[in-house]
């Protein structure tokens, strides 16, 4: 059973973030559970090592106490994702947060083209973050510009795709597994993948399965973590 001292000295909690929760909500839920059920001081340190969008599920590393100093190190580790692209349509957010804005033909797309296109995205690539993201431009987050209907110029960023595997083809859906570097936007990968096939694409499902050597199979649901606090498990 973990004690107050254990969490203050430092813990890395493997949390399986639920769908439609922000990473901030998940951390806050843990924080208040640790304060109210275990008696940690209200100002104890806690934070996550890499944001997951609300529409994504999966591994969220949450650091407590002295281990919050390790957040930068953990953020820099390679990440693995699985998910689904929807081919033939785009959305402004590159996922299901916004409605479809354009549709495209997919009659020319076959398995050969899909697998050949994958090769274009292996290694170091240039990628533009989605306009619906938390990156700041002129001191304002990009999604705030987007929701205000403002057009802003977004610079390309270098990112690395270590592995990119297609695991199911059932057009218009394509399932994938990706291992990538810090700062990779899988939503942007979805958009660019569709464009590279002379069509369109957006992300309809995403799950983070690994961060470095940490695996989501060892993660705990937020609610179950809260229920088990103070118990011998």
Asked whether the bond before 172 is cis by omega within 30 degrees of 0, the reply is: yes
Look up 138 and say whether it is catalytic: no
Tell me phi and psi for residue 179, to 5 degrees. -115, 125
The Cα–Cα gap between 184 and 179 comes to 10
Considering the candidates 6, 9, 16, 53, report the single residue annotated as catalytic: 53
CB 177 within 8 A of CB 165: yes
Which of 56, 55, 54, 59 minimizes the C-alpha distance to 74?
59
Q: How far apart are CA 209 and CA 220, in angstroms?
A: 13
The phi, psi pair for 213, rounded to 5°, reads: -90, 0
Q: Are 55 and 96 in contact (CB under 8 A)?
A: yes
Residues serving a catalytic function are: 53
């Amino acid at each position: 059973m973990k004690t107050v001292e254990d969490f203050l000295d430092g813990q890395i909690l493997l949390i399986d973030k639920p769908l439609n929760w922000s990473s901030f909500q998940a951390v806050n839920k843990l924080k208040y559970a640790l304060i109210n059920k275990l008696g940690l001081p209200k100002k104890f340190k806690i934070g996550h090592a890499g944001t997951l969008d609300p529409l994504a599920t999966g591994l969220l590393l949450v650091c407590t106490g002295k281990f919050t100093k390790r957040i930068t190190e953990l953020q820099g580790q390679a990440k693995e994702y699985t998910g689904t692209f929807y081919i033939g349509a785009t959305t402004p957010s590159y996922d299901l947060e916004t409605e479809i804005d354009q549709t495209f033909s997919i009659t020319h797309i076959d398995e050969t083209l899909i697998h050949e296109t994958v090769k274009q995205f292996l290694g170091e690539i240039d990628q533009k973050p989605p306009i619906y993201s938390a990156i700041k431009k002129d001191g304002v987050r990009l999604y705030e510009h987007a929701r205000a209907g403002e057009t802003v110029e977004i610079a390309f960023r270098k990112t690395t795709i270590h592995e990119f595997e297609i695991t199911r083809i059932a057009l218009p859906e394509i399932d994938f597994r990706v291992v990538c570097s810090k700062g990779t936007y899988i939503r942007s990968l979805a958009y660019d993948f569709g464009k590279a096939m002379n069509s369109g694409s957006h992300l309809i499902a995403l799950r983070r399965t690994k961060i470095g050597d940490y695996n989501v199979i060892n993660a705990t649901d937020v609610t179950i973590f809260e229920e088990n606090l103070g118990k011998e498990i």
